[in-house]
Amino acid sequence: MINKEISKIFFEMADYLKMKEETFRSVAYNKVALSLESMEQDVEDIYNKGGLKALEDLPGVGKNIAQKIEEYIKTGKIKAYLNLKKQTPIKLDEISRIEGMGPKKAKVLFEKLGIKNIKDLEKAAKSHKIAPLFGFGEKTEKNILEGIEFLKKDKGRFLLGSIMPSVEEILEKLSSLKEIKQISIAGSTRRMKETVGDVDILVAVKPAFAEASAGKIMNFFVSLPGIVKVWGKGKTKSSVRMKHGFDVDLRIVKPESFGSALQYFTGSKEHNIATRKIAISKGLKLNEYGVFKGQKMIAGRTEQDVYKAIGLSYIAPEMREDTGEVELAQKAKLPNIIGYDDIKGDLHCHSNWDGGEHSIKEMIASAQKMGYEYIGISDHTKFLKIEKGLNEKQLLDQRKEIEKLNNDFRVLQGCEANIMPDGSLDIKDSVLAKLDFVIAGVHSAMKMPRDKMTQRIINAMKNPNVDIISHPTGRLLLKRDEYQIDFDKILRAAKEYNVVLEINSSPERLDLKDTNIKKAKEAGVKMVINTDAHHKNQLELIKFGIAQARRGWAEKKDILNTDSADKLLSYFKNAS
């Protein structure tokens, strides 16, 4: 699918145009980029079937942008983009990876200090040339240096959510080969770790085809679209680099060893050490080829067989981090973790009332497509001016619209109120009390000292209307650390004031993270899994939140939106 490639270019064009202060065009490109990014249909198919006209029917696409899409499909490049890039020597894609650095700031830094890339930026910040600039200051300079450190630390890692679509595409293409008997992702991607380095894929060949077809599979693999470099091509292993920058390894294993190879290459390393020790304690040997008693292979075909042979119950890949799962599997006492189909409704969805992409009606249709029983609309509130946050009157107007739409499919009204630095909210209590539920989140002043930040969130929890804290620790993966908080204190307060913590599924948040989910569960604090969708297709991101919950060993009973709307509401404050 080339949607993502074009979307990435359009996002960059939007940034370049913003820098040139061509706001109108910038917004137009940004809009199309956003919808391309999550569009299910391949834009190339649309073009092949209906030509330019069909492209112009896409949301936000006019003649001009349609022609750019056509140009990319035909030539693999967009001249206007290359020209924009040429006109400004700034490496915007590089610089904008730093939290808080947008096109406007980049432009000022280039004009005043000649900063073109991260290297220049680091040098300038270290010699304190940025702080004296108008609109920057000491704090920004410090943030820039922290951002650069952050980038260095995570070099070579990718958001699971950003690479998953291309991984799934590779799997699908490979699966079409008739020689392949079994195929699976392995490694940290299979364990659904929030960021991954490279991707491992395992394949077993049908015995009837045997070795002759290995060559064919490898040839097919190294010529897949989107590959920019082939590191190596062998009979049982090949390695490639994808356009997005990550590497994929493909291994061919024997069908009788597929399960043990999958167990081995899924890891984690620590989990494998622990399972191997157990095998040894039982007089067995466990490796990537199978489980052996002396010379005799007693298991290996499936992972289930492998775990059973060494006396363990089957352990879900998301739990394989050697944090106690092996001991529990020995006693057959593993928690029954939440499944990918257990969520009944998404409570954190933004509509076009607050500048989201879609109407409430469209969001409802999307939720129905997900097989949900209900959806919660939780638009931003007034303090967030850039997000067109709603004020009290707008919330009450929205209530009327939601009541009208509330037919067979349940629509709940919430909001995502802002937790101000003192812990108060930006919407009057009398209005909050009228909503079905209230989410509160921190969206400003994130660098407060630990005790102040902790107290700020606890104060919000004390509000008699607050039911859920959104993205409770504020991290942005590969960009920004959690804010300084005492999480144990937050958990105690959540319990005391009957407040639910969110597991935000957005791939760059995944907040709460796995270890915090485990702590919350142990403390008896309830959670919900939400997407924070600003676009109707983003409802599908829920799988990443569920994966994180599984990594944190959460069970259905720990996650409130696995229940019906009525049960869910009865749990919240102001239950009516």
- Contacts to Zn ion by CB under 5 A: 416, 441, 470, 532
Return the SS3 of 485: coil
- Chain CA centroid to CA 296, Å: 44
Q: Which residues pair with 229 in a beta bridge?
A: 241
Which residues, other chains included, contact 496 with Cβ-Cβ below 8 Å and sequence gap of 6+? Answer: none
d(CA 10, CA 28): 9
d(CA 492, CA 322): 27
Q: Are 508 and 161 in contact (CB under 8 A)?
A: yes
Buried b (16+ CB within 10 A) or exposed e, 240-256: bbbebebebbbbbbbee
- Chain CA centroid to CA 223, Å: 28
d(CA 17, CA 32): 14
Residue showing tokens 């859920």: 468
Q: Six-digit token pair at 300?
A: 């290996």
Buried b (16+ CB within 10 A) or exposed e, 411-435: bbbbbbbbbbeebebbbeeebbeeb
Q: Are 3 and 537 in contact (CB under 8 A)?
A: no
Q: Six-digit token pair at 468?
A: 């859920």
Q: Six-digit token pair at 391?
A: 């004020």
- CA atoms within 13 Å, Cβ hemisphere of 556: 10
Which residues, other chains included, contact 402 with Cβ-Cβ below 8 Å and sequence gap of 6+? Answer: 360, 377, 411, 412, 413
Q: Six-digit token pair at 259?
A: 């399960």
Q: Are 543 and 327 in contact (CB under 8 A)?
A: no
DSSP code string of 542-567: HHHHHHHHHHTT-BGGGBGGGS-HHH
DSSP class of 479: T
Cis peptide before 284 (omega within 30 of 0): no
d(CA 141, CA 300): 55
Q: Kindly give the interhelix angle for 3-19 and 63-75, rounded to the nearest 10 degrees.
A: 130
Residue 155 CB coordination number (10 Å): 8
d(CA 425, CA 166): 41
Q: Which residues pair with 296 in a beta bridge?
A: 293
Q: Are 139 and 132 in contact (CB under 8 A)?
A: no
Closest by CA to 110, choosing from 517, 101, 82, 187, is 101
Q: Are 428 and 393 in contact (CB under 8 A)?
A: no
Q: Are 436 and 395 in contact (CB under 8 A)?
A: no
